[in-house]
Amino acid sequence: MNSFAYIKPRTKEEALSVLHELGARAKIAAGCTNVLPDIKAKKLADCVLVDISSLAELKGIKVTGETITLGSLVTISELLESEAVASDAAVLWQAAKVFADPLTRNRATIGGNLANASPAGDGIVPLMALGAIVTVENVNGKREIPLEDLFTGPGQNALKPDELITAVSFARATNTKSNFIKFGLRKSMAISLVSIAVVMETNGDKLDRIRIALGALAPTPVRAKKTEELLAGKQIGPEVLEQASELIKTEVEPITDVRASREYRLHLTGVLLKRAIETALA
Amino acid sequence: MALKYVGHSLPSKDAILKVTGQMFYTGDMQLANMLYAKLLLSPVAHGLIKKIDTTAAENMAGVVKVFTYADVPKVPYNSYIWYFGQDEPKTEYLLSDKARFVGDRIAVVVAESAAIAARAVRAIKVEYEELPAATNPFEALQGGQVAIHPGGNLLDEVEFQVGDPEQVWPGAEVVITDTITTPRTHHAAMETHACLAACSPDGQVTIWSPCQGVYGVRANVAEVLKLPLNKVRVIKAPVGGSFGGKQETLLEPLTAFLARATGRPVLLVLDRRETILATRTRTATKSVIKSAVTADGTLLARDIETVIDAGAYTANSRVIARAMGKKHFRLYRIPHMHYKATAVYTNTPVAGGHRAWGSPQVCAVTEIHMDHIARQLGLDPVELRLKNLVQPYDRDPLSGHSLGNARVRDCLHTGAREFGWWQKRERPQKNGRFRRGIGVACGSHPISYFSAHQDLTSMSLKMHEDGSLTLNTGLHDMGCGLTTALAQIVAEELEIDPSLINVMEADTERGLYDIGTYASRNTYVGGACALKVARKLKELLLQQAAILFKTTPEYLATGAGKIWVKGQETQSRSYGEIVAAAMLQNQVDFIVSTTHRSAALPVAYAAHFAEVEVDIETGLVQVVDFVAVHDVGKAINPGFVEGQIHGGVQMGIGYALYEEIKITPEGRPLNDSFKDYFVVNAPEMPEVRVFLVEKGEAGGPFGAKGVGEIATVPAAPAVANAVNNALGTNFCDLPLTPAKILARLKQG
Amino acid sequence: MEIMNEVKVTINVNGQQVTATVAPEESLLDFLRNRAGATEVKCGCNKGDCGTCTVVLDGQTVKSCLVLAAQADNKQVLTVKGLEKEQLMQDLQVSFANHGAVQCGFCTPGMLVTAKTFLEKNPQPSRQEIREALSGNLCRCTGYQKIVDAVAAVAAGKNDK
Ligand SMILES: Cc1cc2nc3c(=O)[nH]c(=O)nc-3n(C[C@H](O)[C@H](O)[C@H](O)COP(=O)(O)OP(=O)(O)OC[C@H]3O[C@@H](n4cnc5c(N)ncnc54)[C@H](O)[C@@H]3O)c2cc1C
Ligand code: FES
Ligand code: FES
């Protein structure tokens, strides 16, 4: 008697057809840093573990022209070791630096982070600020989903049961200023109470465009679009920042949980927005 | 004469086993035919068990049997009992017939593998009739309808008094009151709880347990299983950390019962969640403390009323209420003092001993309050303490016993100097986001059981024919280096290398008696016993050597493991040669034994200094500097002492800033894993600067006192005081989480 | 490729091929402890939060409770015992023992594995870098200070205290 089964496709194609056949019974297993704790916590049972961890097609970081593409199996450690990420996606690199701890980073994949759809996902937030697009495949073909549209609720994503995230890509953010702040109760090995990523295009001391993504402040990671609009085209000074940090609180819906209260998270949002922008500009 | 081994930081004797992964902890042990047990814990905080259906579980392949309360002896016991005949209220059973907290033991599966046992536990169906739960003591005291035990929820009340504080309050210049709360915390030893039991055909049951007192375990197991004491053999297994968490008899009676019931060895290993919920926690307290002081800061009277959350069963709460009371009287000279404690049952995880048995709670209460007094009077916190601290050889006003060579003032002086207290005090506060603050706290903790309980320990020391030795004890090395320290003491006395000495730990069958590794008493009491038994062996050696050398002992000299007739060093004979020769010629065995009982109740003291940086926009606190000064009498192994202090400070910083097992008003635990129960990790720890005051304690081996528990006592209030100093606040509720800090700052 | 209710896996543990049929959800940690007899790999939480189960899997330092045994099929695992053949690990072991970096010892095998692979990548770390490298390995006994001392001493090439 056992509620789990296991299958290890050898190619992406095989994986897609397995997913197709199994439908909702399939549970994709990548780095398993979520899957195994979920099994232990009995949040997961009665499924076929589809082990994609050795699929070469899903590995590697590619830079093509102005686009960086991360295979869904790219680990957080690989992001940290990538020069392309460090220079052209600094916000993601900074997030990787504070993701979990060095050991977990060796296993945790970016695809797993996206699919896991945690409101606090530290891979999701910077990618959202980079305007990333997620490539999803099933036996019928490929579709691209803007990362912002991937999530439907805490732990819920818009993937169909037979779909596999194969990659996530974004434009190289070469001429931008960016910053990622993770606020947790300790420096490492802490789940974000609030996280924020900002990516900005500036012109002298004017801010042309900014993308702001927030973690742990709503049922899913979110963009703060009203605040982005408010800041776009502005000269950044204390007054504007003050305004923005008030406005941003209206764009989120944090909850109270064991880690922090709603009020505290709201407060942090304003504080971290200011800090993130100031640090990015500094 | 310079000491050769004592006072030196020798590596721990078992370190080599540990770094090579060859130390076998209980969960690593394997016996032929062994079965695996797994507990079913209650998911409800309070409820009657209407029905338990174990059929599905029992029908699973590989399941040997499922036990519920109906299948186990109906013998109540108290897991805290640590010596035979100790009389404490008995409210626990092997398995409960009523759920009293989330984590109560409802059933246990025994199966051929751990995986099967885990699966079978999930197949047990229990129907509960839920009852209203009382999850804090104040509610529990009012709640007529929530009776956790038949006698009601009030477990005990106790009062102590010296002088007459009532008479002081009316005329006092200044009276200051604080309400101070301390959280329920998890010991967080990296090894979870585990026990292995096996029985032999003659009915003897053998238990391997990472425990702190084999004789306490034996007493409880024998009582519950109705066995003669010599049919219960308890062997202390390597301990992967305890800090008091493994001090009570938690798994042993049940595991022993299962081994007898199945006739096969049974291993029970708890997981982390079970260890957090279903073992013991640090007692949560809420205290109102009131002090009368003169304007210049002299303490005149003090009153403390503490409410102790016992959790769902009695365990040690009645006793810790008393112990905490006594601990209030040993730090400051206060002529009039009153203490009252009320211990209350609640539908929460059971409280028990946790490193320093109430002292961290007591210290948080008095030391946070002392800083409040200092602020109110405009005095420097160090000055205020110096005005009131005890002096060496003061008498404990409650018991009348001497506090021993109480060097807390030296600790405070040294610490203030090394920390740069005065310079840091004068530094202007920074404006802006980060605020710096400094804090100090003094603490005390006794290091024996003298006058409170029996305080016995016995040892035997055997010298073999080649001069190597075996020291047999009843002690338990928790990883602190005790066995090495004992070898250093014996080595020093016999002038031989410590590597020649094997030290055996507790085993009720093969070892000697000791009341248990509690109360930081091992160095002071155990070390003294080791010294005594070494002296006795030396006497025997000299006496036998005298026969061999055809002289009398006064004419003999010793050194470097050899004996010779004074003036004839070239004709010396090694201890081994003497032993071998005397065994042959004189028919003597070189084994001596002795029993030691402490004759005093000295107290270990410390002063901790912390510097913090508080981010006032987020409330996050970082400890940036830490000085710990300890009155250790004499460090037998300074490296071990530092190690204890580093670990104690880490635990104290956690107590001050992060750690709390959170339980909802309905009794549901919110953080039952390390994901949300934060143990301080390496990047959060400041470099801790340790200084030792070594002024000797009569009665201690080479003047040593204990340090294991005092190490953590003043750390948390030092940090809390630093936060209060940084922010000008009077935080009194640990832990000082960022959210709490921010909420207070927002109030202005 | 087929759906399996049990998975036959062969893992090279410290140079020994160990083959066993495991449940799909069995972790590498359980495999190592129960099937390969590698009890030097400890279990402090089973959920990825403590690092006592740290091993090297095909060159990567990982928490073995976060890896499926099936995922380690045909791979090589080195525990503290397997790494002992290397001088760097021996140096660390001696340094841990001499610096008092070991108390109860339960975190030690995992700490050593983390420290070793870290020093290979970063042979001249600062104390803060060492602390960060060890952030996934909890220790309740030592306050980490002597562990940092021990690692720093090896990095500095002076081992004996
Ligand atoms: C100790 C510890 C610390 C952690 N700290 C952090 C942290 O700081 N920040 C953070 O964000 N997370 C953290 N996590 C969570 C986890 O590590 C991350 O979410 C990680 O990125 C998940 O990746 P994985 O490869 O391990 O996913 P898995 O566990 O393999 O899978 C996660 C989920 O995604 C699905 N999935 C995986 N790959 C795909 C794919 N290609 N297509 C479709 N679905 C897929 C799986 O079915 C599963 O539902 C931590 C976890 C642990 C144990
Ligand atoms: S047992 Fe694997 S991290 Fe704790
Ligand atoms: S030495 Fe005990 S947990 Fe590290």
What's the one-letter identity of residue B454?
A: Q
Our CA-based measurement puts residue B662 at a distance from the nearest CA of chain A, in whole angstroms, of 8
Instruction: Give residue-wise pLDDT tens across range C25-80.
Output: 999 999 999 999 999 999 999 999 999 999 999 999 999 999 999 999 999 999 99
Q: Is the pLDDT of residue B691 over 90?
A: yes
Q: Give the full edge-to-edge strand order of the sheet including B174-182.
A: B154-162, B336-345, B299-311, B284-293, B174-182
Decide if B742 and A185 are in contact by the 8 Å CB cutoff.
Answer: no
What integer pLDDT is reported at residue A1 of this predicted model? 42
Cα nearest neighbour of C74 on chain A: A54
What integer pLDDT is reported at residue A257 of this predicted model? 87
B-facing residues of A in 57-116 (CB < 8 A) are none
Inter-residue contact B221 to B698 (CB < 8 Å): no
C115 reaches A (C-beta below 8 A): no
What integer pLDDT is reported at residue B57 of this predicted model? 98
Where residue B327 falls (left for φ over 0; alpha for ψ -120 to 50; beta otherwise) is alpha
Decide if B15 and C102 are in contact by the 8 Å CB cutoff.
Answer: yes
Instruction: Give counts: helices (H), strands (E), chain A.
Output: 11, 14
Decide if B190 and C42 are in contact by the 8 Å CB cutoff.
Answer: yes
SS3 letters for B624-648?
A: EEEEEEEECCCCCCHHHHHHHHHHH
Inter-residue contact B55 to B239 (CB < 8 Å): no
Our CA-based measurement puts residue A47 at a distance from the nearest CA of chain B, in whole angstroms, of 16
Decide if B676 and A258 are in contact by the 8 Å CB cutoff.
Answer: yes
Our CA angle for B624, B627, B630, nearest 5°, is: 155
- What is the DSSP pairing of strand B105-111 with strand B63-68? antiparallel
Question: Does the beta carbon of A162 sit less than 6 angstroms from any atom of ligand 1?
Answer: no
Instruction: Give residue-wise pLDDT tens across range B64-114.
Output: 999 999 999 999 999 999 999 999 999 999 999 999 999 999 999 999 999
Closest alpha carbon to B263 in B200, B209, B218: B200
From chain A, the residues in CB contact with C132 under 8 A are: 102, 187-188
Inter-residue contact A236 to A205 (CB < 8 Å): yes
Mean pLDDT of B402-419: 98
What integer pLDDT is reported at residue B448 of this predicted model? 82
C144 reaches A (C-beta below 8 A): no
Q: Which among B9, B190, B478 has CB closest to C52? A: B190
Q: Give the full edge-to-edge strand order of the sheet including B556-559.
A: B556-559, B562-565, B573-574
Closest alpha carbon to B339 in B168, B165, B161: B161
Split at pLDDT 50, 70, 90, the class of B400 is: very high
Cα nearest neighbour of B623 on chain A: A186
Closest alpha carbon to A165 in A14, A5, A16: A16
Task: Tell which of C32, C106, C127 to mutate to test the B interface (max B CBs under 10 Å).
Answer: C106
Distance CA(B741)–CA(B656), nearest Å, equals 12
Inter-residue contact B528 to B493 (CB < 8 Å): no
C-alpha distances in Å from residue B569, one per residue of B432, B548, B558, B565: 74, 15, 9, 7
Distance CA(A281)–CA(A206), nearest Å, equals 11
What integer pLDDT is reported at residue A185 of this predicted model? 82
Decide if B737 and A185 are in contact by the 8 Å CB cutoff.
Answer: yes
Fold for the domain defined by B284-447+601-747: Aldehyde Oxidoreductase; domain 4 (3.30.365)
Instruction: Give residue-wise pLDDT tens across range A141-153.
Output: 999 999 999 999 9
From chain B, the residues in CB contact with A267 under 8 A are: 742, 746
Q: Is A137 helix (H, G, I), strand (E, B) or coil?
A: strand
Question: Does the beta carbon of C70 sit less than 6 angstroms from any atom of ligand 2?
Answer: no
Pocket test for ligand 2, best of C41, C53, C77, C137 (most atoms within 8 A of CB): C53
Instruction: Give residue-wise pLDDT tens across range B341-389.
Output: 999 999 999 999 999 999 999 999 999 999 999 999 999 999 999 999 9
- Sequence-distant (6+) residues with CB within 8 A of B747 are none
Residue nearest ligand 3's atom 2 by CA: C104
Burial B238-264 (b: 16+ CB within 10 A, else e): bbbbbbbbbbbbbbbbbbbbbbbbbeb
Interface B-C: count of C-beta contacts within 8 A:
184
Query: Residue B483: phi, psi to the nearest 5?
Result: -65, -35
Pair A37, A75 in one domain: no
The contacts found for C7-11 with CB under 8 angstroms, 24 or more apart, are C7/A6, C7/C69, C7/C70, C7/C73, C9/C69, C9/C70, C9/C72, C9/C73, C9/C74, C10/C73, C10/C74, C11/C36, C11/C69, C11/C72, C11/C73, C11/C74, C11/C75, C11/C76, C11/C77
What integer pLDDT is reported at residue A174 of this predicted model? 87
Distance CA(B538)–CA(B665), nearest Å, equals 63
Distance CA(C141)–CA(B682), nearest Å, equals 12
CATH (domain of A20): 3.30.43.10
Burial B100-135 (b: 16+ CB within 10 A, else e): bbbbbbbbbbbbbebbbbbbbbebbebebeebebbb
Measure C54 CA to ligand 2 centroid, in angstroms: 7
What integer pLDDT is reported at residue B431 of this predicted model? 82
Query: Average pLDDT over chain B, rounded to whole?
Result: 96
Inter-residue contact A198 to A281 (CB < 8 Å): no
From chain B, the residues in CB contact with C138 under 8 A are: 188, 190, 674, 679, 681
What integer pLDDT is reported at residue B67 of this predicted model? 98
Token duo for residue A93: 């690199």
**Domain boundary residue, one of A171, A191, A223:** A171
Mean pLDDT of B721-739: 97
From chain B, the residues in CB contact with A263 under 8 A are: 743
Pair A83, A40 in one domain: no
What integer pLDDT is reported at residue A191 of this predicted model? 79
Q: Which among B61, B671, B739 has CB closest to A260? A: B739
Question: Does the beta carbon of C90 sit less than 6 angstroms from any atom of ligand 2?
Answer: no
Pocket test for ligand 1, best of A32, A116, A147, A160 (most atoms within 8 A of CB): A116
Pair A47, A65 in one domain: no
A22 reaches B (C-beta below 8 A): no
Using only C-alpha atoms, chain A has a radius of gyration, in whole angstroms, of 19
Our CA-based measurement puts residue B499 at a distance from the nearest CA of chain C, in whole angstroms, of 15
In chain C, where the domains are located: 7-78, 87-155
Burial A143-178 (b: 16+ CB within 10 A, else e): eebebbebbeeebebebeebbbbbbbbbbbbeebbb
In chain B, list all ranges with CATH 3.90.1170.50. Answer: 18-22+34-131+193-269
Mean pLDDT of C109-120: 98
What's the one-letter identity of residue B419?
A: F
Decide if C71 and A32 are in contact by the 8 Å CB cutoff.
Answer: yes
Distance CA(B70)–CA(A162), nearest Å, equals 49
Pair A41, A106 in one domain: no
Distance CA(B186)–CA(B244), nearest Å, equals 10
Pair A224, A271 in one domain: yes
B738 reaches A (C-beta below 8 A): yes
A267 reaches B (C-beta below 8 A): yes
Distance CA(B508)–CA(B214), nearest Å, equals 6
Pair A129, A146 in one domain: yes
Give the total number of structural domains in chain A. 3
In chain B, list all ranges with CATH 3.30.365.10. Answer: 284-447+601-747, 451-597
Report CA torsion sign: B213, B219, B222, B228: positive
Residue nearest ligand 3's atom 3 by CA: C139
What's the one-letter identity of residue C140?
A: R
Cα nearest neighbour of B658 on chain A: A185
B-facing residues of A in 226-265 (CB < 8 A) are 258-261, 263-264
Pair A132, A161 in one domain: yes
CATH (domain of A98): 3.30.465.10
C-alpha distances in Å from residue B294, one per residue of A3, B331, B336, B614, B721: 72, 18, 14, 32, 22
- Sequence-distant (6+) residues with CB within 8 A of B181 are B284, B285, B286, B287, B732, B733, B734
From chain B, the residues in CB contact with A190 under 8 A are: 678
Pair A83, A137 in one domain: yes
Instruction: Give residue-wise pLDDT tens across range A175-223.
Output: 899 999 999 887 767 778 899 999 999 988 789 999 999 999 999 999 9
Ligand positioned closest to the Cα atom of A107: 1
From chain A, the residues in CB contact with C60 under 8 A are: 77, 106-107
Distance CA(B346)–CA(B349), nearest Å, equals 8
Inter-residue contact B665 to B732 (CB < 8 Å): no
Neighbours of B511 (CB within 10 A): 22
SS3 content of chain A, % helix, strand, coil (to 5): 35, 30, 35
Q: Which of B94-98, B143-147, B550-554 is predicted with the least confidence, judged by mean pLDDT? A: B143-147
Burial A7-33 (b: 16+ CB within 10 A, else e): bbbeebebbbbbbeebeeebbbbbbbb
Closest alpha carbon to B455 in B412, B513, B398: B513
What CATH class does B451-597 carry? alpha beta
- What is the DSSP pairing of strand B336-345 with strand B299-311? parallel
Tell me the angle at which helices B715-727 and B359-377 cross, rounded to the nearest 10 degrees.
Answer: 30
Fold for the domain defined by C7-78: Ubiquitin-like (UB roll) (3.10.20)
Instruction: Give residue-wise pLDDT tens across range B302-355.
Output: 999 999 999 999 999 999 999 999 999 999 999 999 999 999 999 999 999 999
Distance CA(B102)–CA(A130), nearest Å, equals 45
Domain range holding A21?
A: 4-51
Q: Is the pLDDT of residue C160 over 80?
A: no
Measure A73 CA to ligand 1 centroid, in angstroms: 11
Pair A231, A268 in one domain: yes
Instruction: Give me the CATH code for the C87-155 domain, please.
Output: 1.10.150.120
CATH homologous superfamily for the domain B18-22+34-131+193-269: Aldehyde oxidase/xanthine dehydrogenase, a/b hammerhead (3.90.1170.50)
What integer pLDDT is reported at residue C161 of this predicted model? 43
Instruction: Give residue-wise pLDDT tens across range A52-108.
Output: 999 999 999 999 999 999 999 999 999 999 999 999 999 999 999 999 999 999 999
Report CA torsion sign: A115, A117, A121, A125: positive
What's the one-letter identity of residue B9?
A: S
Looking at this predicted complex, what is its ipTM?
0.97
Mean pLDDT of B257-284: 98
Distance CA(B748)–CA(B44), nearest Å, equals 41
Ligand positioned closest to the Cα atom of A164: 1
Instruction: Give residue-wise pLDDT tens across range A1-14.
Output: 458 999 999 999 99
Q: Is the pLDDT of residue C23 over 80?
A: yes
From chain C, the residues in CB contact with A100 under 8 A are: 136
